[in-house]
Structure 1
């Protein structure tokens, strides 16, 4: 979806000012929100792409006025309600710490095997497709329609756009190849951009087409 979460290249938001020596959490509740998100995600009631979609689908005014972990909290509340966990409709049993640790360790890799060979190779020139999906996507707006060069073939993972279906519906988890695609800053931002700037985007194969 084209939402306020995808602000790359948009103007009028001011400069990005990194916080010096920024702590991992600015308040104790933020750590709890992260822990709750990881713990409830391990229950299997939703997948990672549905979780991302829940954050991106928050009302624009809420998203823009909320801190990072406030966004996570608001999205988690919605996920818990839609899955039935909040009203007791989901039959979940308590997980032991060894089970939780195993689930967290397993979540560090999202690689999937596929029998299909990659369509592109390092050095190929590709164009990011001009798409405007109504649902979740990982292709930033600012690279759509632009031509870049593949600099790395990552492997294959579940395609987020097909995985982020409404809770309760079966997700298509057929893996797709992922490529690191490098774009010139001047191609993305115009002649006023720093000519030394490049932007590298990880893009699933369905997002790309061969550049003519």
Structure 2
């Protein structure tokens, strides 16, 4: 979606803080917000792309006025309410009403998944639409739904640099419409193609893009 989260290439946001000593959590509540998000996610009521969309699909004032983990907490609260995992009364009172109706996930399975991690790569043998070296045009994707194609590269031409293989397509996965397996590529764009003639001529940007975002360049 064209939300406030899609800030790539925008001016006026100031420098990015890259402090290497910045802690992962700045307060105990942030640690708990992260833990609650993981714990509720293991109930299987939503997936990672649904969760991303819930964080991004917010009013710009709310999104830009919230810290990173505030967005995580607001998103998981909305997901829990939307899927019936919690009720509005439970949120308001902080008291669970029906623990028996939502049994906890198997702790051994949770621990195993956390140790191994989760990958969106699929074993499907879907043929690629493009080969390495092909020139491609990024489609003008304008949608209120979830999408992973950055706004700044839409309508721009690049070259397939590598094929990562077949992956879950986030645009359908986020909305419960299946994984729609397809190839995801690293597409190389020149800086001047994205930012204009004033960009350094040697600059290049690599963006991971799925089949459905691309078409052959004219």
For normalisation by structure 1, the TM-score amounts to 0.91
Structure having the higher Rg: 2
The answer for the alignment partner of 1:74 in structure 2 is 74
Secondary structure of 1:154's aligned partner? strand
1:127 aligned to 2:137?
yes
Residues 42-81 of structure 1 aligned to structure 2 (within 5 Å): 42-81=42-81
Paired with 1:26 and 1:16, the residues of 2 have a C-alpha distance of 17
Q: 1:103 aligns with which of 100, 109, 113?
A: 113
How many residue pairs are counted as aligned between the two chains? 208
Which sits farther off after the overlay, 81-90 or 180-189? 81-90
- Does the CA contact (< 8 Å) of 2:42 and 2:105 recur in 1? no
Q: 1:196 aligns with which of 176, 180, 202?
A: 202
Shift in Å, 1:164: 1.6
Paired with 2:150 and 2:98, the residues of 1 have a C-alpha distance of 36
The answer for the alignment partner of 2:189 in structure 1 is 183
Shift in Å, 1:63: 0.5
Secondary structure of 1:6's aligned partner? coil
- Does the CA contact (< 8 Å) of 2:49 and 2:173 recur in 1? yes
Paired with 2:13 and 2:150, the residues of 1 have a C-alpha distance of 17
For normalisation by structure 2, the TM-score amounts to 0.89
The answer for the alignment partner of 2:94 in structure 1 is none
Q: Which runs of 5+ in 2 are unaligned?
A: 88-96
The answer for the alignment partner of 1:208 in structure 2 is 214
Paired with 1:81 and 1:106, the residues of 2 have a C-alpha distance of 29
1:37 aligned to 2:15?
no
Task: Provide the aligned C-alpha RMSD in A.
Answer: 1.8
The answer for the alignment partner of 2:162 in structure 1 is 152
Structure 1 residues 144 and 97, CA, compared in 2 at 3 Å: closer, same or farther?
A: same
Shift in Å, 1:89: 7.9
The answer for the alignment partner of 2:127 in structure 1 is 117
The answer for the alignment partner of 2:151 in structure 1 is 141
The answer for the alignment partner of 2:103 in structure 1 is 93
Secondary structure of 2:82's aligned partner? helix
Secondary structure of 1:21's aligned partner? coil
Shift in Å, 1:20: 4.2
